[in-house]
Structure 1
């Protein structure tokens, strides 16, 4: 499985529970075909989390048989919000809730731990970049896209000419915290949804697992008295909603219809700012049975308002290989930084 002397970059995807790692050669070939996971230790605090990332790095090199001296750079992604330099927001985030994480330089800490250059993206940007390059292939550097990644929160990314738009503070593409028009989105008597970031009525307050637990499921259970999910603990009930949705359960479909409509409204906003070639949807909500994920994507499309000219050229698609998209996307970013050339060429080979 080794790279036979070819230099590589390593991609590390840091999540709330697990780290996933991958290896990408400078020729554009991934040496890992599946998940390579270990616990992320983020709830134990920054020091333990950095050590866990170090173990993930060492473990994937051992698995692939790549000597450490062939590694030229490392890509790291974490949940956001965070700056372009990998400093976690001073307000914290859904996954980094402990005070010690606020304003923590996770990229710099990992760079010191590994002694290698570390390139940072938030996890939504990383998945967006991977979706873009996988979907467009050799045309990736001449196309643009927007991605919404539904997980514990709502991540996302904006890609222009094959590269992630970071913004002045590194927080461009934080699509989850874009405020949405709620008129017609909420059902009669449904309370205004709130987000863990402190906002009310942003996209994440509707389209995320946290939103199901905090905002959507409590309301819809009042409309479906006697539903089996009412007997479950709230966090567990929220995780079970998708399985009910796959079976066509009416309550679950109402929840996911609201989530899809919210993403459609988000994409409508994006269409008027970036006018992308593609709109990608990823995350656990679409890692589901084909009928359900096709229905969800079609509902997103139905609620995305495009001009006739835009609709003629835009496409809607799912983020491929969701569980590996973060690590692979940030490996692409590390390779892009390593190449350092503006020449438009595909970053991932066949």
Structure 2
């Protein structure tokens, strides 16, 4: 950490319990090398949550010794679904469950509170953007990537020429709700998994913590009825599966093998749709011991059906600095906005 006399941008990663903030100089140096967390207060409603973000902003500036007048813009990410401009979905979301959040302009509210430009991405897009730029460095603006972030749900992002593809409504890259072929994912007789969004057989219905609790663990406990997890409450049991997987437990490895096959099916679709240079995986599923991480990444690659020409060029990798990736990703988005050139004229006139 260290102070600076050059202009900066601030990145704020908003979560269900905590905000994490970072500071990035205009010349591309992060001044924070660890989590800087404060309570997010999202369950207390929009006004309390925005005040909590402002405290996170003030706190990281105090920590780094950066004067407020050096800040040129702020990047904000939240869990989706939300529009490209930071309006929470009219149906709400897991983290923004109270009615007051539905259709709330969280980006605009923070911009008004801070009196600074605020750039918004959902948390999956933010992590995807960070992974892309760290991996490709100077070549980032000439490369493409697809990221899958496995957590309570499954987020992600599609990056083309160094920029997140947002889509018309801002909901591009909602990779968790892409339907995948299940023939090579499920075991014989295993029920078709359902997603909290109402879909059946999408990626999130297999590759997420929620999927473990709702779909995968109940099935595999019928195959391993004497397993210690059979005696645990379902929510706790789902969270314990990762630890068992790290220790090589057969039931847990069956569950994570299914998740790897689901992600492989997703990346197969991506290979035929966007043909990216890199495929990144992030989230809790890879915040594990090295042996398990390597096994899981290898399994995803094995089940991603790339053509020989694609396989020769593609990289499979983990999202780096995983806990900090969201805040750092939106800081990069804010920096790109500050550096942006004027909009070019249209190629075809009226």
TM-score after normalising by structure 2: 0.96
Per-residue CA deviations over 1:50-84 (Å, capped at 9, x if unaligned) read 11111111110110111111111000001111110
Q: Is the 8 A contact 1:94 1:153 kept in 2?
A: no
Task: Within 5 Å, give how 1:1-350 maps onto structure 2.
Answer: 1-341=1-341
Number of matched pairs: 343
Q: Contact (CA 8 Å) 1:86, 1:121: kept in 2 or not? A: yes
Following the alignment from structure 2 to structure 1, what is the Cα–Cα distance between the partners of residues 120 and 217? 35
1:241: Cα distance to partner? 0.5
* Distance in 2, Cα, partners of 1:184 & 1:226: 27
The Cα shift of 1:144 comes to: 0.5
Cα distance in 2 for partners of 1:97, 1:272 equals 36
CA contact (8 A) 2:14 2:78 kept: yes
Gapped regions of structure 2 (runs ≥ 5): 344-350
CA displacement 1:167-225 (0-9 Å, x = unmatched): 11111111011111112311122222111122111111111111111111111111101
What is the DSSP-based 3-state SS (H/G/I as helix, E as strand, rest coil) of the residue aligned with 1:305? Answer: coil
Is residue 209–residue 239 contact of structure 1 (8 Å, CA) maintained in 2?
yes
- 2:346 counterpart residue number: none
2-structure distance, mates of 1:116, 1:202: 39
Q: Is the 8 A contact 2:281 2:319 kept in 1?
A: yes
The 2-side partners of 1:2 and 1:322 are apart by 22
CA-CA distance at 1:273 after TM superposition? 1.0
Counterpart-to-counterpart distance in 2, 1:289 and 1:92? 35
Q: Which residue of 2 aligns with 1:347?
A: none
1:272 partner SS: helix
Distance 1:96 1:251 in 2: 33
Cα deviation for residue 4 of structure 1 reads 3.0
Relative distance call for 1:222 and 1:26 in structure 2 (3 A) is: same
- Quickly say closer, same or farther: Cα 1:118–1:48, change in 2 above 3 A: same
Q: Is the 8 A contact 1:22 1:60 kept in 2?
A: yes
Contact 2:4 2:65 in 1 (8 A): no
**In 2 relative to 1, CA 173–19 (structure 1 residues): closer, same or farther, beyond 3 Å?**
same
Instruction: Using the TM superposition, name which of 15-24 and 180-189 deviates more.
Output: 180-189
Deviations 1:259-303 (A, max 9, x none): 111011001111111100000001111011111000000010011
Determine helix, strand or coil for the equivalent of 1:329: helix
Answer yes or no: is the 8 Å Cα contact 2:184–2:261 preserved in 1.
no
| Partners of 2:41 and 2:199 in 1: CA distance | 27
How far apart in 2 are the matches of 1:97 and 1:184? 35
